[in-house]
Amino acid sequence: MVAMNDERSPRSGIAPEEALRRVRIVLCRPSHPGNIGSAARAMKNMGLAELWLVEPKRFPEPEAEWLASGALDVVRSARVCARLTDALGECVAAYAISARPREWSLEVLSARDAAGEVLRDAASGPVAVVFGTENAGLTNEELLACQRLVHIPANPAYSSLNLAQAVLVLSYELRLAAALGEVRAPAELPTATAADLEGLFAHLEQASLESGFLDPKHPGRLHERWRRLFARARLEREEVNILRGLLKALAQQRARSQ
User: Which region, judged by CB under 8 A, interacts with a second copy, from 85-93, 123-131, 180-188, 193-201?
Assistant: 180-188
Residues touching a second copy: how many (CB under 8 A)? Answer: 80
Q: Which of residues 104-143 bind a second copy (CB under 8 A)?
A: 104-110, 112-113
Judged by CB under 8 A, which of 18, 172, 197, 199 binds a second copy? 172
- Piece of the chain touching a second copy by CB under 8 A; list 7-15, 55-63, 120-128, 163-171: 163-171
Binding flags for a second copy, 72-111, as an x/- string (CB under 8 A) = -----------------------------x-xxxxxxxx-
Region from 84-92, 120-128, 137-145, 248-256 binding a second copy, contact rule CB under 8 A: 248-256
Nearer to a second copy, 57 or 151 (CB): 151
CB closer to a second copy, 82 vs 104: 104
Interaction between residue 184 and a second copy (CB under 8 A)? yes
Contact stretch for a second copy (CB under 8 A) within 21-29, 53-61, 80-88, 231-239: 231-239
Decide: is 175 part of the binding site for a second copy (CB under 8 A).
yes
- In sequence order, the β-bridge partners of residue 130 are 26, 96
Read out DSSP for the chain? ---SSS---TTTSS-HHHHHHTEEEEEES-S-HHHHHHHHHHHHHTT--EEEEES-SS-S-HHHHHHHGGGHHHHHT-EEESSHHHHHTT-SEEEEE-SS--SSSS-EEEHHHHHHHHHHHHTTS-EEEEE-BTTTB--HHHHHTSSEEEE----TTS----HHHHHHHHHHHHHHHTT----PPPP--PBPPHHHHHHHHHHHHHHHHHTTSS-TT--TTHHHHHHHHHHHHT-BHHHHHHHHHHHHHHHHHHHHH-
The Cα 73–Cα 68 span in angstroms is: 9
Comparing CB distances to a second copy, the nearer of 80 and 106 is: 106
User: Which segment (8-16, 56-64, 118-126, 161-169) binds a second copy by CB under 8 A?
Assistant: 161-169
Residue list 3-42, contact with a second copy (CB under 8 A): 38, 41-42
Asked if 237 touches a second copy (CB under 8 A), the answer is no
Give the number of other CB atoms < 10 A from CB of residue 137: 17
